[in-house]
């Protein structure tokens, strides 16, 4: 077996491994919560998570992209508060980001 | 835009068409951005020397933009055992946030038979989870929301991987259209309906601050997990 023959095999093992690890993290949090008692404190921790995940993903991205990202995200918040419509909010966010960059902000 | 309340929130969740529709509908605004990411992955995969079959298999079975793009940074031909171990470790670290997301779904979906819910979680992504979380917050109780959002994103993800691989980057400068910012934009849009007053948002601030600090001072992809975990802990220790 030449080195060339080994490659596709190794790369599919690599892909399978990545897929397996990704599936494992997808299910293990769900599984683990079945093994613990959901006390009021655990409940509050779970309730705080969605917003915390969003903040932890969004803030570093905004910091990295500067003012256009900050303006875009602010526009999204404003539209969501006024209209509560995802489509308009996302469109407004993209438009503000595009305009801010076109204007060289 | 309110979810249909055909099942009471207290009952066991069921698999219906209403949730499926809600899930699909709420991904629509996200699809152009998703397609750009998928094309970016397909293009990078081609440049990195992956075969067409490898690139498409990866998108179909890994189904994670973050994990796949990070994998492309590490990928090198020939693929050695060392490369595989590094790829596995990176996929795990990048995916740690999914651990927390899965945990939040337990109180709602824990009553479903494992044979149904564990395969369904294959389709879970950041966006799928956020759409499902918002749906549940608004009183919905149809677990199909996961399938609707997940399948819709999966189809676009695989299709755009193919397009990116075959055609290269169709959109030369996604930044021009703000498309590189679609994830933060979508996430913030989903966050607003979860607002329950400033006190409940203190953990969010903690999460954001910790994530920022980690992002600047600790190399790698720990910052989302560390930030979210800090926010969750803060939520647990702020007495209501």
Q: What is the pLDDT of residue A94?
A: 92
Do both A22 and A58 map to the same domain? Answer: no
Contact yes or no for B102 and A102 at CB 8 A: no
Write out the two tokens for A45: 């921790």
Contacts of residue B211 in chain A, CB cutoff 8 Å? 55-57, 59-60
Question: To the nearest whole angstrom, how far is the Cα of B18 from the nearest Cα of chain A?
Answer: 18
pLDDT at residue B4 above 90? Answer: no
Do both A52 and A30 map to the same domain? Answer: no
Do both A19 and A61 map to the same domain? Answer: no
Residue A27 or residue B79, greater confidence:
A27
Q: What is the pLDDT of residue B207?
A: 97
**SS (HEC) of chain B:** CCCCCCCCCCCCCECCHHHHHHHHHHHHHHHHHHHHHHHHHHHHHHHCCCCHHHHHHHHHHHCCHHHHHHHHHHCCCCCCHHHHHHHHHHHHHHHHHHHHHHHHHHHHHCCCCHHHHHHHHHHCCHHHHHHHHHHHHCCCCECHHHHHHHHHHHHHHHHHHHHHHHHCCCCCCHHHHCHHHHHHHHHHHHHHHHCCCHHHHHHHHHHHHHHHHHHHHCCCCCHHHHHHHHHHHHHHHCCC
> Pick from B26, B57, B124: which is nearest to A86 by CB?
B26
Residue A8 or residue B235, greater confidence:
B235
Q: pTM score, two decimals?
A: 0.86
Contacts of residue A41 in chain B, CB cutoff 8 Å? 236-237
| ipTM value | 0.88
Q: What is the pLDDT of residue A5?
A: 42
Task: Locate the chain B residue with the closest alpha carbon to A81.
Answer: B192
Lowest mean pLDDT among B59-63, B112-116, B198-202: B198-202
Contact yes or no for A45 and B236 at CB 8 A: yes
Q: What is the percent of chain A with per-residue pLDDT over 70, rounded to a whole number?
A: 92
Q: What is the pLDDT of residue A9?
A: 81
User: B235 falls in which pLDDT band (50, 70, 90)?
Assistant: very high
Q: Does the residue A41 lie in any domain?
A: no
pLDDT at residue B190 above 50? Answer: yes
Q: Does the residue A87 lie in any domain?
A: yes
Do both A14 and A62 map to the same domain? Answer: no
pLDDT at residue B209 above 90? Answer: yes
pLDDT in tens, B148-171: 999 999 999 999 999 999 987 677
C-beta separation of A7 from B53 below 8 A: no
Q: Does the residue A43 lie in any domain?
A: no
Q: What is the pLDDT of residue B238?
A: 86
Do both A55 and A7 map to the same domain? Answer: no
Do both A89 and A65 map to the same domain? Answer: yes
Do both A29 and A65 map to the same domain? Answer: no
Do both A18 and A57 map to the same domain? Answer: no
pLDDT at residue A54 above 80? Answer: yes
Do both A74 and A24 map to the same domain? Answer: no
> Pick from A25, A29, A57: which is nearest to B187 by CB?
A57
Do both A105 and A54 map to the same domain? Answer: yes
What mean pLDDT do residues B107-126 have?
95
The residue segments making up the domain with residue A83 are 48-105
Mean of all residue pLDDT scores within chain B: 90
Do both A31 and A70 map to the same domain? Answer: no
User: B174 falls in which pLDDT band (50, 70, 90)?
Assistant: confident
pLDDT at residue A18 above 90? Answer: yes
Total residues belonging to chain B? 240
Do both A55 and A105 map to the same domain? Answer: yes
What mean pLDDT do residues B37-53 have?
91
Domain count, chain A: 2
Q: Does the residue A1 lie in any domain?
A: yes
Q: What is the pLDDT of residue A1?
A: 39
Nearest to B84 by CA among A14, A12, A16, A23: A14
């Amino acid at each position: 077996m030449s080195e060339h023959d080994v490659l596709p095999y190794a790369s599919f093992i690599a892909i399978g491994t990545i897929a397996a690890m990704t599936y494992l993290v997808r299910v293990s949090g769900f599984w683990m919560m079945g093994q613990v008692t959901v006390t009021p404190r655990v409940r509050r921790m779970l309730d705080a998570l969605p917003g915390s995940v969003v903040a932890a993903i969004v803030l570093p991205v905004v910091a990295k992209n500067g003012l256009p990202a900050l303006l875009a995200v602010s526009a999204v918040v404003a539209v969501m508060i006024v209209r509560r419509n995802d489509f308009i909010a996302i469109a407004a966010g993209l438009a503000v980001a595009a305009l801010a960059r076109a204007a060289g902000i | 835009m309110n979810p249909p309340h055909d099942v009471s929130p207290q009952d066991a969740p069921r698999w219906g068409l209403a949730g499926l529709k809600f899930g699909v509908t709420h991904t629509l605004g996200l699809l152009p951005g998703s397609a750009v990411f998928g094309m970016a992955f397909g293009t990078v995969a081609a440049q990195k020397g992956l075969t067409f079959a490898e690139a498409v298999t990866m998108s179909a079975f890994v189904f994670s933009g973050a994990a796949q793009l990070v994998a492309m940074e590490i990928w090198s031909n020939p693929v050695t055992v060392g490369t595989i171990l590094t790829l596995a470790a990176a996929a795990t670290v990048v995916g740690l946030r999914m651990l927390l997301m899965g945990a939040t779904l337990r109180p709602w979906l824990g009553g479903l038979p494992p044979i149904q819910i564990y395969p369904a979680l294959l389709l879970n992504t950041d966006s799928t989870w956020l759409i499902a979380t918002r749906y549940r917050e608004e009183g919905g109780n149809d677990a199909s929301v996961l399938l609707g959002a997940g399948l819709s994103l999966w189809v676009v993800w695989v299709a755009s991987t193919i397009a990116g691989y075959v055609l290269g980057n169709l959109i030369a400068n996604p930044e021009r259209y703000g498309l590189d910012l679609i994830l933060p934009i979508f996430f913030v849009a989903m966050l607003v309906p979860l607002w329950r007053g400033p006190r409940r948002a203190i953990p969010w601030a903690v999460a954001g601050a910790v994530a920022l600090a980690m992002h600047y001072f600790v190399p790698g992809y720990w910052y989302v997990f560390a930030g979210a975990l800090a926010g969750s802990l803060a939520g647990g220790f702020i007495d209501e």
